[in-house]
Amino acid sequence: MTIMLPGAPHLARVAGALTLDGVDLDMLGRQFGTPLFVYSQRSMLDAAVAYQRALVGRPHLVCYAMKANSNLAVLQTFASAGCGFDIVSGGELERVLAAGGQPGHIVFSGVGKTRAEMQQALAVGVRCFNVESESELHRLSQVAVAMGRVAPVSLRVNPDVDAGTHPYISTGLRDNKFGVAHEQAVQVYRVAASLPGLKVVGIDCHIGSQITHSSPYLDALDRLLDLVEAVEAEGIAIAHVDLGGGLGITYTDERPPRADELVAAMLARLDARGHGHREVLLEPGRSLVGNAGVLLTEVQYLKPGAAKNFCIVDAAMNDLLRPALYQAWMAIEPCRQRSGDALHWDVVGPVCESGDWLGRDRSLAVVEGDLLAVLSAGAYGMAMASNYNTRPRAAEVMIVDGQPVLVREREQASTLFAGERLLPAPR
């Protein structure tokens, strides 16, 4: 019997075995070792196409927000699908160029761009800087003039709408650090238009992450279009409207709109307000990769107790931070279903922190040595991994046309301290 799992279109249970794109995950974990991230390329491509399908016939660019998962093979996958990229650092710029991304399809976001990062981005010719403050405008203009360049800019406006998501991933409220306040935006556009090293090309917002309703997007779009009209009334042309990313995925019972539904609703609003001719940019991250990935981990020890039962696995908060950071709930499935009694387990890692858990109070029938899969781990999983406790980061495998391809080797402990130096011997 094949059982489809919610929110994970490419995962199935076939005769008790959990599969991704038809590949048996238990066998994959034994072959490549654990902890192991596994991604379905098919799932990533399908997610990108859902956005693109809705934008056919319009000038548009879907810029993958690569901080969600910046593996080179993931970037290569989206570049081949015609996506651009949303970057937030000079390091991400180097990465995306190494993966074959085109500079002219890159938008550069982030509140703290350094001069060096600006120079790096101007030298390769990124498509646009999403500028987040008036000070940044002045700095960017100076850097561009010194290089004999003109920097294309869009202002990231803070529309002051509530995305209805976790406070750590809500970015469009007045008291967030992100963007230029709505009330100041027209004035800041005047400054941008007056500076010699800049050319205004667009407007931008990004209101948060894991958003599960269309209404905050439509509210933000309305606020943005009010500004576009006010700014253009001053003779400053705005070519593109960038609505950011943030669309949620199903981790448990969330029912976010489908990407094509959301985009259709946005386009209808643009048309209704007479802005249908504008180029539309989007910056999805999580919704392109989240459901495409799983984290495989092996059960090391079972420790039943009076108050709680602990299932200690070989993946930890350094591999997958979301549960510890946001109390995020992520589904955990055994790679092989076993008969026998399920108990309630707290699935925890070996790191020396009580916050080191992957799931709490999960009903599982497991024995030591079994493999578990944490689902929906394709976004903000490996990208947030650290080396805390001198734990080498996991390997990554991508399933391409039904075949597993190793796309990142498991780290070695020795490389983690290769750049460190012992003190000189005392004289």
Ligand X SMILES: *Cc1c(COP(=O)(O)O)cnc(C)c1O
Residue 246 found at the interface with ligand X (CB under 6 A): yes
Q: Is 240 in the site for ligand X (CB under 6 A)?
A: no
How far, in Å, CA of 198 to CA of 189, rounded?
Answer: 11
Among 26, 132, 160, 283, binds ligand X (CB under 6 A): 283
Q: Choose between 117 and 314: whose C-beta lies nearer to ligand X.
A: 117
Query: Which residue's CB is nearer to ligand X, number 172 or number 359?
Result: 172
Q: From 62-70, 184-192, 323-331, 359-367, give the range in contact with ligand X by CB under 6 A.
A: 62-70
**322 binds ligand X, rule: CB under 6 A:** no
Sheet holding 17-20, edge to edge: 2-5, 8-14, 17-20, 23-24
Contact between 61 and ligand X per CB under 6 A:
no
Rounded Cα distance, 88 and 77, in Å: 19
Q: Is 285 in the site for ligand X (CB under 6 A)?
A: yes
- Smallest gap, in angstroms, from Cβ of residue 146 to ligand X? 26
**Toward ligand X, which CB reaches closer, 19 or 210?**
210
Residues 96-155 that bind ligand X (CB under 6 A): 109
Specify the stretch interacting with ligand X by CB under 6 A; choose among 189-197, 244-252, 265-273, 322-330. 244-252
* Of the candidates 415, 424, 399, 414, the residue with the CA atom closest to the CA atom of residue 32: 399
Residue 75 as a binder of ligand X (CB under 6 A): the answer is: no
Q: Which residues are catalytic?
A: 352
Report the residue number, 41 or 130, with the smaller CB distance to ligand X: 130
Total binding residues toward ligand X, as defined by CB under 6 A: 17
For residues 227 and 233, what is the distance between their CA atoms, to the nearest angstrom?
10
Question: Which residues in 155-214 contact ligand X (CB under 6 A)?
Answer: 206, 209
The whole-angstrom separation of Cα 370 and Cα 294 is: 16
Calpha distance 298→230 (Å, rounded): 57
- Report the distance separating Cα 11 and Cα 309, nearest Å: 28
Q: How far is the CB of 154 from ligand X (least distance, A)?
A: 11
Per-position DSSP letters for 61-109, written without gaps between them: EEEEEGGG---HHHHHHHHHTT-EEEE-SHHHHHHHHHTT--GGGEEE-
In sequence order, which ranges of 235-321 are alpha helices (DSSP H)? 259-272, 286-289
By beta carbon distance, the residue nearest ligand X is: 285
Dig out the tokens for 417 from the structure: 């301290």
Residue 387 contacts by C-beta under 8 Å, 6 or more apart in sequence? 318, 393, 411, 416
Minimum CB distance to ligand X smaller for 84 or for 285: 285
Q: At what angle do helices 259-272 and 41-55 cross, to 10 degrees?
A: 20
35 or 246, CB closer to ligand X?
246
Pick between residue 29 and residue 245 the one whose CB is nearest to ligand X. 245
Nearest to 23 by CA among 10, 7, 36, 4: 10
Helix (H, G, I), strand (E, B) or coil at 280: strand
In the complex, minimum distance from the CB of residue 212 to ligand X, in angstroms, rounded to a whole number: 11
| Residue 68 makes contact with ligand X by CB under 6 A | yes
* 169, 209 contact by CB (below 8 A): yes
Residue 269 contacts ligand X per CB under 6 A: no
Among 179, 284, 323, 381, binds ligand X (CB under 6 A): 284
When binding is defined by CB under 6 A, the residue of 13, 67, 95, 223 that contacts ligand X is 67
CB of 83 to ligand X, least distance (A): 13
Query: Binding segment for ligand X among 251-259, 284-292, 330-338, 389-397 (CB under 6 A)?
Result: 284-292
Give the residues lining the site for ligand X (CB under 6 A): 65, 67-68, 86, 88, 109, 206, 209, 244-247, 283-287
